[in-house]
Amino acid sequence: MILRRINVFFNSSENDRQIPCVYLSAYYICSGQVKDALDICYSAVPLAEQSGDVPQLTEVLVRLSQIHRQLGHSSRALKYVREGCRAAKSAACILVKARALRQYTCCCACIGDYAQSMKLCTEARPILAALGMGDLCNAIYRNLLNLQAQVHHFQTDYVLARDLNILLVGTPGEQRTQEKVSEAFARMNIAGSDIRMGRSNDPSVGQNIEMARCLMAGTSYKLGMAGCDLTLADVAFAKQDTRNAMHLSFVLFALALRVGDLAATPGTP
102 and 223 together in one domain: no
* 8 A C-beta contact, residue 104 and residue 123: no
Between 74-89 and 94-110, two packed helices, what is the crossing angle to 10 degrees?
Answer: 160
Task: From residue 135, give the alpha-carbon distance in Å to each of 44, 117, 142.
Answer: 32, 20, 8
Question: Could you tell me if 226 and 243 lie in one domain?
Answer: yes
Last residue of a domain, one of 108, 134, 160: 134
How do residues 23-56 score in pLDDT, each as one tens digit?
A: 666 666 666 667 777 777 888 888 888 878 888 8
Q: Are residues 176 and 153 in the same domain?
A: yes
CB atoms within 10 A of CB 14: 6
**Same structural domain for residues 210 and 128?**
no
Q: Report the C-alpha gap between 109 and 155 in whole angstroms.
A: 10
Q: Minimal CA–CA distance to 189: which of 141, 231, 218? A: 231
Per the structure, how many domains does the chain have? Answer: 2
Domain check: are 217 and 269 in the same one?
yes
CATH number at residue 3: 1.25.40.10
Instruction: Decide if 36 contacts 2 (C-beta within 8 A).
Output: yes
Tell me, what's the pLDDT at 179?
Answer: 78
DSSP state of 201: T
Based on the domain organization, do 87 and 164 belong to the same domain?
no
Q: Are 67 and 256 in contact (CB under 8 A)?
A: no
Cβ neighbourhood burial of 254 (10 Å; 0-12, 13-18, 19+) = exposed
pLDDT of 60 > 80? The answer is: yes
The reply to whether the predicted model has a pTM over 0.75 is no
The residue-averaged pLDDT of 106-127 equals 86
pLDDT of residue 204: 94
178 and 125 assigned to the same domain: no
DSSP 162: H
Secondary structure of the chain in HEC code, one letter for each residue: CHHHHHHHHHCCCHHHCCCCHHHHHHHHHHCCCHHHHHHHHHHHHHHHHHHCCHHHHHHHHHHHHHHHHHCCCHHHHHHHHHHHHHHHHCCCCHHHHHHHHHHHHHHHHHCCCHHHHHHHHHHHHHHHHHCCCCCCCCHHHHHHHHHHHHHHHHCCCHHHHHHHHHHCCCCCCCCCHHHHHHHHHHHHHHHHHHHHCCCCCCHHHHHHHHHHHHHHHCCCCHHHHHHHHHHHHHHHHHCCCHHHHHHHHHHHHHHHHHHHHHHCCCCCC
Residue where a domain terminates, one of 134, 160, 189 = 134
Q: What is the pLDDT of residue 19?
A: 42
Q: What is the pLDDT of residues 79-102, one digit of tens each?
A: 999 998 888 887 667 778 888 888
Looking at the structure, tell me whether residues 105 and 22 fall in a common domain.
Answer: yes
Same domain, 18 and 130: yes
Range of the domain at 70: 1-134
